Structure 1
């Protein structure tokens, strides 16, 4: 029996609660749970943050990969994976996150995400580039090509527009992309 194909689509505002749940299903390591505790307040903050970004930051593109063979009670297909691509110029981006929720360790969040941003600036400088801000595939859908579809979307857009995609010199991004390509 063959596995039904997954489908890449733009994410919608209505998808944000499901994307929050997917985030917590994907990022279970102690470091991420320290930064994003699995509490109702942090879930609400994460959903609201992404919702607001979709409404106010048109340069941030949220994508989902769905499994059309699995639907919920409302008839919506299950989200197997999602990504957030940032297509802004570096000076257009502004802060990545709003103020942290009180359940989150504010100093640790500032330190961690500040280091990520300074490293991206160090590598990319002021060059126009598209940034893969977030990517997560539900454990039930790993090794089925969902991550590859999400990475490929941004890389193909960058190629068409003559822009860099993610920091090409970054070993973490390169190894992640190679791993996705190898798994299909």
Structure 2
């Protein structure tokens, strides 16, 4: 085998489908396994089922909630995925369905209300903006450009629509998002609320 043939094939960006929900859920727990997040979304069979049903519902009933996946063509595995919300919070309506009984509703409500309040304060409830709701890369595929593909897609959509993009970034992800023009406008322990203004179209 030559050195050239040993190089991994480029990762491929695709839209996710309802059939992907179980693998996306497994990937979510691989990427977001911190004590703080597991206190909100505990890793139980019931909450995993809740995640799968939530994703399927979005894909089937919320056409502007776009789930994208990055696929490794060699193994067929999903290396990373993202959910881009291409609408304002007002247009979208409730972000989550009813919490699962395994989840602490007071903790979940407080977490969600904090995030939604930051987004409303920084970009407005009604002002159109695109929200990177989540982006997860499996630990087996870190540093292979998967996040770049997912970020570039959403940033290009925002630029074409001439609207800002918004994200609540982890400390680890903040550095990556800054490379794509996101600026932290508010911070709290473990989370940076970041906005990227649209870039002018090239003439």
TM (norm. structure 1) is 0.88
Which protein shows a greater Rg? 2
Q: The residue matched to 2:143 in structure 1 has which SS?
A: coil
* 1:135 alignment counterpart: 135
Query: 1: CA distance between counterparts of 2:177 and 2:156?
Result: 13
**Match of 2:43?**
38
- Alpha-carbon shift at residue 127 of structure 1 (Å): 2.2
Secondary structure (helix, strand or coil) at the match of 2:144 reads: coil
Separation (CA, whole Å) in 2 of partners of 1:22 and 1:174: 20
Give the distance between the partners of 2:47 and 2:167, measured in 1 at CA.
29
Question: Could you tell me which residue of structure 1 aligns to residue 153 of structure 2?
Answer: 153
Query: Conserved in 2, the CA contact under 8 Å of 1:145 and 1:180?
Result: no
Q: Does 1:85 align with 2:84?
A: yes
Q: Structure 1's 127 and 100: CA in aligned 2 closer, same or farther, altered over 3 A?
A: same
| Cα distance between partner residues in 2 of 1:118 and 1:105 | 20
Higher relative contact order (CA 8 A, sep 6+): 1
Partner of 1:13: 18
Q: For residue 73 of structure 1, what is the aligned residue in structure 2?
A: none
> Structure 2 vs 1, CA of residues 27 and 4 (structure 1 numbering), >3 Å: closer, same or farther?
same
Does residue 1:49 correspond to 2:84, yes or no?
no
Does 2:73 align with 1:68?
yes
Contact 1:147 1:180 in 2 (8 A): no
1:83 to 1:171, Cα distance in 2 relative to 1, 3 A: closer
- When residues 21 and 174 of structure 1 are mapped into structure 2, their CA distance, relative to the original with a 3 A threshold, is closer
> Does the CA contact (< 8 Å) of 1:84 and 1:134 recur in 2?
yes
Gaps of at least 5 residues in structure 2 are 1-5, 182-203
1:124 aligns with 2:91: no
Report which of the two has the higher share of helix.
1
Instruction: Normalising by structure 2, report the TM-score.
Output: 0.80
Query: How many angstroms apart in 2 are the aligned matches of 1:179 and 1:137?
Result: 17
**Which secondary structure does the structure 2 equivalent of 1:131 belong to?**
strand
Aligned length: 174
Contact 2:132 2:167 in 1 (8 A): no
- The CA deviation at 1:175 is 3.4
2:70 and 2:80 in contact (8 A); partners too: yes
Secondary structure at the residue paired with 1:95? coil
